[in-house]
Structure 1
């Protein structure tokens, strides 16, 4: 396995490591990133960025908001940490988290956009001695919440880039928009941020993800599969299972048949396809014909067309199971992830910049399709549809235990390389 050389800027790495560890200690779930947003706003404004946050970013309500109890706990933690009179908090009520920071260089030039997701996951972090955050004292301070996918690293790269661009403002041209996006894990923030007027200006757009490959690689043209995630409810008629089974209409039986049918769906020959049922609930007594069942399933595809094929086939299965058992059913969208091809010219340009920074050729990889989904696809699609260039990078690294695990971690040296690469893209125009 090729090794990652240390970032040559030792002072930069010291600052980035401290920043990442500070945010790692205070993770916040999707749509509740109140502390994270406020702290980012404060530093970015101090650097001279024009910052927009809160209600002004939301033309529509957030999708998939957290339950009220989870949101109230997050808000209380934010008030305790920042003070109830914090100037940034009020505008974030009702889950209006995230921000956009804008900085102009010394003269006219291209408009750059960089997106960094900021939310964490409902996972309890490991306290094992082999887990670096636990061993070195920066593990999550909040039970049941953890940065287990690298988003603390993503936002750290964003802040590091902001610091460098502010310090060198007189030596580059154009405009930079930094999008610190909430709620990637529930596929909500990308759809909201894709509608922002700042994104409509962007000509060159880049986003990234740490880890993914579980080995050291810098990928310049990473694509993600599309996904559609649905909530389903089947409603039948309850009756006594022993005394009058004929009087009931069994929603549980219908749902079980539907789940079996979903897993039996034919796959698509044109590309990757997936199906999974991840949640299933039927709160009924053992001697009652079940009258209501809830479950959540997902379909995925290598592109939007394959994903739509899977979604339509799944709908036929759900309808058939309901009709077979004489029950009613409803389906609602929980989340959607779009897939969009990257701009080859921009990917190749960034690859050249990486070589110019001295990253070894053995670490550079042209392309990779990730068998997971990422809501940055909405922003990439928007930029490409308006005539701009966009690509998604992977800063690959071994990750302890894998993504979304209690022992997830990454090599912090990647933070420095990410900042230097994005800075070079801006300063070279």
Structure 2
């Protein structure tokens, strides 16, 4: 590996490990956004923040104001730039624009930046703990590689700025908040962030674990999905003296959970459902008056998601009626189906070959969801081309597992792939 490659890799590792130490969940990425925005500004990028890039009416699953304020204070204590925080209007994410001032196409790259609600293990077999960069935020960790995506984006931005004189057109770097729970992209698309984009690229680290670094040119098979927050409201009462006066929200929710997981499969394609969270009750001798449930539904196409949603709503309503409770359903996130542009596959394969990657694949099924599909579909609707790729690399555990980690060498190739793509399209 030559000196420049070592330099790129070391810079990316330093950023990645810093982001890993200070993980932030969706719509709370205040420190992360501040650091990215400050660095992009230093590199000469035009910076867009807050309401400039987020349509507030389209924001889904936003935390309570009290939680937002607490996380802003924490970000300040962890070296976030207060002037940048003020410009964010309590909305995370940042867009950096490099305009060469020479006529040419506009190329956009998406990097997601949020973490997950998982407890990172204190185990010497887990590299982040062993080498001292594990999460300092209890119950939150990067377990999907977004720390790596943010790091790749920043180092890519630096080396791209050095090549500005060689290029024509514009480069738009989208550091997206709240990908987990598919909450952030829709609000950015509604604000018009990619309306003028000719080429759009998104990339994810780690899928298809291999012995070395590889590349999937096009990810396909994205599930459409909806994330639903359900609240059952009943009536509390003494569990022994007056059980007949209570309306048991926990029983209503539990009945719903069992039946939700029994929704029949559909002949038109694959579907998924998962109730991931259920909180209810205050004491063993009180009839629970409130139950909160967080769930998701997915389908191979948008019609299947509607089928699942209609079934879920019917089951929730029936369970609530059975136990004489009230209920409320709030859509806390969503993603649509989209198919990347096949015309960009040869470009990705050419780049992979130039980098001598040992494992290059034309396409691969995602079997999951990512709200980058909103960007992909919008760019295509406007006449542009868009694609979602994967960097294959060894991983220590599946994504969304608290022992997840990836081979950091993937960061180098993420930067190099994006640089080569840009130079080929904007030369």
TM-score, normalised via structure 1 length? 0.90
Task: Classify the secondary structure of the residue corresponding to 1:269.
Answer: coil
User: Greater shift after overlay, 165-174 or 22-31?
Assistant: 22-31
Q: Which residue of 1 aligns with 2:13?
A: 17
- Count of residues in correspondence between the two structures: 421
1:229-288 per-residue CA deviation (whole Å, 9 max, x = no partner) reads 112223345556566655555444333322221111111233321111112233165555
* Residues 152-167 of structure 1 mapped to structure 2, 5 A cutoff: 152-167=147-162
Contact 1:226 1:373 in 2 (8 A): yes
Q: 1:88-103 counterparts in 2 under 5 A?
A: 88-94=84-90, 96-103=91-98
User: Which runs of structure 2 are paired with 1:229-248 in the superposition (5 Å)?
Assistant: 229-237=227-235
1:328 to partner: Cα distance: 3.0
CA contact (8 A) 1:106 1:169 kept: no
**Counterparts in 2 of 1:122 and 1:345: CA distance versus 1, 3 Å:** same
| Counterpart mapping for 1:397-408 below 5 A | 397-408=393-404
Conserved? CA contact 2:53–2:191, under 8 Å: yes
Mark the CA change 1:252 to 1:131 in structure 2 (over 3 Å): closer, same or farther. Answer: closer
Which residue in 2 is equivalent to 1:193? 188
Q: Is the 1:219–1:368 Cα contact (8 Å) retained in structure 2?
A: yes
Q: Provide the residue aligned with 1:139 in structure 2.
A: 134
1:142 positional shift: 3.0
Moved more, 260-269 or 138-147: 138-147
Moved more, 200-209 or 303-312: 303-312
Alpha-carbon distance in 1 for matches of 2:63, 2:323: 33
Change (3 A) 1:265 1:92: same
Q: CA distance change for structure 1 residues 290 and 98 in 2, over 3 Å: closer, same or farther? A: closer
Aligned partner (choices 367, 370, 389) of residue 371 of structure 1: 367
Match of 2:77 in 1: 80
**Partner of residue 320, structure 1:** 318
**Is the CA contact (8 Å cut-off) linking 1:212 and 1:397 kept in structure 2?**
yes
Cα distance, 1:111 vs structure 2: 0.7
The answer as to 2:99 corresponding to 1:104 is: yes
- Summarize the Cα distance change of 1:177–1:323 in structure 2 as closer, same or farther, 3 Å threshold: same
SS in 1 for 2:171: strand
Aligned twin of 1:214: 209
Q: Tell me how far apart the structure 2 counterparts of residues 141 and 239 of structure 1 sit (CA, whole Å).
A: 41
Q: Which of 326, 329, 333 is the aligned partner of 2:327?
A: 329
Aligned to 2:197: 202
- Matched residue, 1:64: 61
Contact 1:228 1:300 in 2 (8 A): yes
Residue 414 (structure 1) aligns with: 410
* Partner SS state of residue 15, structure 1: helix
The 8 Å contact of residues 184 and 374 in structure 1, kept in 2 or not, is answered as yes
User: Shift of the alpha carbon at 1:14?
Assistant: 2.2
- For the residue of structure 1 that corresponds to 2:36, the secondary structure is helix
What is the CA distance between 1:103 and its match in structure 2? 0.8
CA distance in 1, matches of 2:263, 2:319: 14
What is the aligned partner in structure 1 of residue 376 from structure 2? Answer: 380
Q: C-alpha distance in 1, partners of 2:67/2:37?
A: 23
Q: 1:297 to 1:24 in 2, by over 3 A?
A: closer
CA distance in 2, matches of 1:212, 1:60: 32
Q: Which runs of 5+ in 2 are unaligned?
A: none
Q: 1:323 to 1:104 in 2, by over 3 A?
A: same
Matched, 1:392 2:425: no
Report the aligned-residue RMSD.
2.5
**Contact 1:125 1:140 (8 Å CA) reproduced:** yes
Structure 1 residues 83 and 264: alpha-carbon distance in aligned structure 2, compared to 1, 3 A threshold: closer
| Range 142-151 or range 39-48, more displaced | 142-151
